[in-house]
Amino acid sequence: MAQMADIAFLGTGLMGAPMARRLLAAGHRVTVWNRTPAKAEALAGDGARVAPNPADAVADAAIVITIVSDAAAVTDLYFTQGAVQAARGGALFIDMSSIQPSVARDLAARLADAGRRAIDAPVSGGTPGAEAGSLAIMAGGGEDDIEQARPVLEAMGQVTRVGPHGAGQLAKLCNQAIVAISIGAVSEALYLAEKGGADPAAVREAIRGGFAESRILDLHGARIVARDWRPGGPSTLQLKDLDNVLAAAQEAGVDLPLSRQMRERYHSLVHELGGADLDHSALYLELEARNLAST
């Protein structure tokens, strides 16, 4: 039987809440905090202790997990709100947010200076994967630290070490580039089907199982057909990730033309069409607006 851990879980939103529930179901002792208290309090019935602030949450934790909106929020939790200072010496901080690789490396260095350890371990799989415990977890950091964290992370999904600090975030950006470009491709295919006189739902079913099959065609294709834009992955976060993709590309000295195009399209969806809080499959709406504007 896996050893149970004392875990502080900071950030219990769309992804964090089901991830924390998986840890509780695995028998870990979990203290939760969220900037909107009601979202943390909802986990009390699952056995979580609810902390009034981040510093209180981490006080007795061997492992501190964060999953929040962006790098600024992670940095604020760690240093402005005092989570790092309040944690025990040698505590392992696992950031599962999606942030820039350069920031992940900087945070790891700052944590080491403070006598704490760090892993960047962003995830893919959306809320269904979080609920099922089947997330893809891309871990960057020291081998020993990742092995220590593995029993905890495996309660939430499949863990792969992809390199040193920052490599987990780089892997997530690779994932997000594929996701955005694939949503664009599925949107164009289903839009062509609709405007060309075919049934988009039937076309989606017809091409499934062939070379075009993918999780995007399966899940996001179904959302597009149903015009269900309730957020699993909000478009504003997809735009943030694409901004980070392009920043990482600039740092690496490479040009990513498809990622650049998708970044502009998500920027239009979020800032011109009011789609910030819609699911990222709502890129279909940008395609519709683009075509209406050209007629």
Question: Which residues are catalytic, by number?
Answer: 172
Q: SS in 3 state form for 210-252?
A: CCCCCHHHHHHHHHHHHCCCCCCCEHHHHHHHHHHHHHHHHHH
Name the phi and psi angles at 138, rounded to 5: -105, 110
Q: How far apart are CA 223 and CA 216, in angstroms?
A: 10
Are the C-beta atoms of residues 219 and 125 closer than 8 Å to each other? no
Specify the amino acid at residue 240.
K
Q: Please state, in angstroms and as integers, the Cα–Cα distance from residue 238 to each residue in 24, 68, 137, 253, 272, following that order.
A: 29, 14, 18, 22, 15
